[in-house]
A and B are shown apart, each in its own frame.
Chain A
Amino acid sequence: DAGVTQSPTHLIKTRGQHVTLRCSPISGHKSVSWYQQVLGQGPQFIFQYYEKEERGRGNFPDRFSARQFPNYSSELNVNALLLGDSALYLCASSLVLNYGYTFGSGTRLTVV
């Protein structure tokens, strides 16, 4: 049974560019959350979606946006990339809100 899958696994972008990260939740999971993890820190919450609606948003600028599709997969979009956006971006899915999120292995984004 497939876990949470994220693509791509690694990505290098230039400052000012746009990036789209993708996440496929575990089959049957309806909630997806996105996190940013900078080296040496814990994951920082970006967004939470449930049943295709945004249910939570962390303290990130409007350059960050996300959506959840009818099949419950999700995209995280970041515009006008900055060097400080370089991080591991984690996606997590869960059957219901606020319980037992399963994480993917993440997308390592490097902005140069």
Chain B
Amino acid sequence: DQQVKQNSPSLSVQEGRISILNCDYTNSMFDYFLWYKKYPAEGPTFLISISSIKDKNEDGRFTVFLNKSAKHLSLHIVPSQPGDSAVYFCAATNFNKFYFGSGTKLNVKP
């Protein structure tokens, strides 16, 4: 039962352009959403989060958008940098249970 889905396993973007990573969820009871970045041989690193009562949260080059009616979450990275190349996971929480998507591998080309 995959409650959080990332349908794009990979994304390739040119340096300086916008990267948009998408995430869909099925459970309308999720109260918090998070994005994590993961490099090989390391644990996931927290990037940015958003409460279910908001529709946008911005932190530097990273912006997360939440569309509750569509049950859709997206992460925008502007401008993209080669160091952003990693696997990105979206996650959602519901009553202290966490659910992760399967990840999207982002490749930012110089």
| Chain A residues close to B by CB (< 8 Å) | 4, 33, 35, 40-45, 48, 55-58, 90, 92, 97-106
Contacts and interface: CB of A to CB of B under 8 A. Distances in A.
A100 B95 contact: no
A55 B46 contact: no
**B interface SS class:** strand
A10 to B, nearest CB: 11
Interface stretch (B13-21, B36-44, B66-74, B78-86): B36-44
Contacts of A97: 96
A102 B46 contact: yes
Most buried by A among B4, B36, B96: B96
Nearest to A97: B96
Contacts of B91: 42-43
Nearest to B89: A42
Nearest to B43: A103
Interface in B52-110: 89, 91, 93, 95-103
Q: Which 4 A-B pairs have the closest CB atoms?
A: A103-B43, A56-B96, A42-B100, A45-B98
